[in-house]
Structure formats: C-alpha cells, structure tokens
Amino acid sequence: MPVSPDREAEFAAFVGTYRERALSTAWRLCGGDGALAEDVAQEAFIAAHKALPRFRGDSRMSTWFYRILVRTAHKQRRKRAVREKAAALFGLEAPRSARTVEGDAPLRRRIAAALDTLSPGQRDAFVLVHMEGLTVVEAAEALGAAPGTVKSHVHRALVKLREALADAYELEGGTA
C-alpha cells in the first residue's frame, strides 16, 4: 500500500525533529551502550518507515514510533545478551561494549548501571515517563500495556533507583 505524499512529508519532519531524542531514548533503553543505541535508533526509524502505510493516525506519530523503538531495543538487547552468554560459554572474549566510555562522568555510569538493574518493563516505563516526558497514558499506549501496569512499573523503578543511587549525591561532591 503506497504512502501519501503528506504522510511521507510528515514522517520526514518527524525524523528531523525526533532523531536526537530517539538516540537518547535508545541509549537509556540499551543501558548506556552508545553504539547499540545508534543501531537501535536507526533500525527503529527504518522499521517505522516500512510500517508507515499501516500507521492509521489513531495516536500521535511519536507514540507509535516509541512502541517501535522500545521493541527494537528489546530485540537488540536480547541479541547482545545471547552473544555475551555464548562467548562466556565457549571461553571467548565477549564483544567490547561501548558502555564504558572513558569520558563518561562517574554519575552517568552509575545511572546507566542502575537502569540496567531494572526489569525491562520497569526500565521502559521509567524512561518513557520520567526521562522522555510522556504521560502514563501515552507510555501505556507506546508499550502496549494498561496505564495501571505502567504506573506500577514506574513506582517499582523509582524505589529500586532511589535505593541504588542513594549515595550518588555524595559521589558528586554534595553534602547531605
């Protein structure tokens, strides 16, 4: 099914507007792995373009795209986990992750590590609601979940993150 020129132009404008935001969201969803985040964002935009004829416009394009982005991030994280497990099983060196970039601030690494301890549902809900600014209803639509489920995931994520990052203020030179 062909895409109308108006829809194609709308998508092109969307890509221009959301490119950086998609990359930062993918970085958060991928546990701070910059190279993986770039792959995820690019793959999500390609998948969205291919699916554009099926976009009905019932929701905002951004909400529709976030759903594609989250699914793509899950798929890539699973692939990475399989590669790492296979490497460990055969005693090979796992592919070096871009997660440990020398220039990263210690707090940024701690936050990425703390996000990595969350379940996928908690991480996705937290990133979309608290880091991307979606409402609970928008996040629920993007995740294909009930709003109550998203609220629960966000609450549990906040509890875990507060616990994991309780001493972060002192790490950055602050005083309690």
Query: What are the pLDDT digits (tens) for 30-43?
Result: 877 888 899 999 99
Place of tokens 């609450």: 155
pLDDT at 88 over 90: no
pLDDT recorded at residue 108: 75
**Residues in Cβ contact with 71 at an 8 Å cutoff, skipping those fewer than 6 apart:** none
No. of H helices and E strands in the chain?
A: 8, 0
User: E strands of the chain, at which residues?
Assistant: none
First to last CA, the chain: 60
Residue with the bigger pLDDT between 167 and 158: it is 158
Q: Are 55 and 61 in contact (CB under 8 A)?
A: yes
Of the pLDDT bands very low, low, confident and very high (cuts 50, 70, 90), residue 176 is: very low
Distance CA 74, CA 29 (A): 8
Domains of the chain plus CATH, in order, are 1-101 (1.10.1740.10), 102-176 (1.10.10.10)
**What DSSP character marks residue 145?**
S
Distance CA 144, CA 138 (A): 10
3-state secondary structure of 136: helix
